[in-house]
Amino acid sequence: QVQVVESGGGLVQAGGSLRLSCAVSGIAFSWTTVAWYRQAPGKQRELVADINIGGSTNYADSVKGRFTISRDNARKTVYLQMGSLKPEDTAVYYCNARIESINVWGQGTQVTVSS
């Protein structure tokens, strides 16, 4: 009964900002590593950022300095603050929650960055 639900996607002009949310339920959130991935049409899904139970973060080189991942254990939500957006950031963004062998994906949220 694990649920991962993304929200916050939309259309934004290059240079703008968006904040994505990932709400996780049905799992011990405090012991869950959460990651954001993205996938453009015809492209392989790629890791954008992740955050572990201790708050340690990891970012793809392409988003370092522009994106920030954070977690709110009380709300069982992980956020991806995206700034200085570029057209190449356009993709469906997916949230992934992992604890031990359990690995659950959300449905994705579309982010489109115009030139």
DSSP bridge partners of 21: 7, 79
Q: Are 115 and 14 in contact (CB under 8 A)?
A: yes
| Both structure tokens of 26 | 């049905």
The pLDDT value given to residue 1:
85
Rounded to whole angstroms, the Cα distance separating 96 from 88 reads 21
Tokens 């659950």 appear where? 104
The parts of the chain modelled with pLDDT lower than 70 are none
